[in-house]
Structure 1
Amino acid sequence: MQVLVVEDDPAIAAPLVGVLERAGFSTTHVSTGREALTTDPGDLVLLDLGLPDMDGLDVCRRLRERSDVPIIVVTARGDEVDRVVGLEVGADDYVVKPFGKRELVARIRAVLRRSGSAPNTGHGDHADRSVLGGLVVDRRSHRVLLHGDEIALTPTEFDLLELLARDPGAVVRRSEILDEVWDQEWYGPTRTIDVHVAALRRKLGDSGWVETVRGVGFRLAEPVAAP
């Protein structure tokens, strides 16, 4: 799925693009309203209102006049009046900065579901769920099934597994895990990751589901059956 990011602040745009791409979306970034109106909107538009050349609400209105592409306004304007106006001119959702990364990705997926789009994670699974062998991670219902049986996980354990399940076999660095799962800069010991990985392995019943890449991070892999 292609997301058009309309954001003039590089300090916000760069990490936002990174979050989206790690979540399985392709992105195009523009920094002005004029660019937004002349660029292919793709499957969804993330639109900042504080653009340097024109009001983002006008951009939203003009995009809606020509297309039914889903539009999510991402802005610092948090007043109720701004929210109402944004929705009235055609936005499908309205997110106020600062926002959580996981919340934004969840909102994108929800808007795409409502619009009838079917985003893809990039490794063959629907964006709402990842499947590896007998393991199913269902993002929409926030459930994990292993060979048909539901596995009870804490919210943090689920977020950790969901992150690894976005691209099975790919190594996820510790720094990325802290950033994505804890959703903030972590000032405590990184040992907390190992504690949660150990709990996850225990609940999945086989340590082989989560492999350690020493000095780098972790990856999700289907355990090798004993001969």
Structure 2
Amino acid sequence: MAKNDQLLLDGIIDDRITLKLPSDRRDEVFEYLALEQVLKNYDLTRDEIESGWIDGRNDGGIDGFYILVNGNILSDPENFSWPKTGSQLEVWMITCKHHDTFKQATLDNLVATLSEVLDLAIKSDDLQGSYSDLVLRSRENLKLAYRKLSTNLASFSFNFAYSSRGDTSSIGESILSRAQQVVALTESSFSSCNARFNFFGSSELVSLYRKNPITLSISTSMSHCLEVKSTFCLPA
């Protein structure tokens, strides 16, 4: 990470606090900015970003939970236009922390959540952890999409992202190990999916902020990832 990238990111946040985008709270502004940039290639509207923004009490360490079918956000299953062939299902679980480093405790919490939330055979009422209605609603939407698209599912990807103001080139081994555990948990839950874990620090968020969605390629922007069934992409 360049020495002054955190300063650049803080300047972007300062500007958005002035605009109250989405509020004047620094942690909320950082979260929204991180969600917006991580998902930038989808060119989502503000309403679409906020539809998957589930941060709050009992969020299980998940700040953003997004389900996309053929690139379209699934938030209202009853009014969604379900494809009949060639379905592409993408899931994003995003954790955003306004910290100046990446912390293991953040992923410890996420691992504990995923160990049961990804087991879709467990009914919501039987989950051991306490989860908000937003988390449970997103989980039910995932369950519905996975089942409804089962006969024409052409591809299924599961993406995890951890965003902070930290430096992705100096992530600790214990944190990388937890990220690998997240990927392994997903692989054991969804054998047909391509799962990956992505880290976004100040440099990555600033770089994404400067790019237009139409010029951004997800595959090239995520240079710090752990991926199931392929080469592990570790921070340099």
Give the TM-score, by structure 1 length: 0.31
Higher relative contact order (CA 8 A, sep 6+): 2
Q: Which has the greater radius of gyration?
A: 1
Q: Please state which structure has a larger fraction of its residues in helix.
A: 2
TM-score normalized by structure 2?
0.30
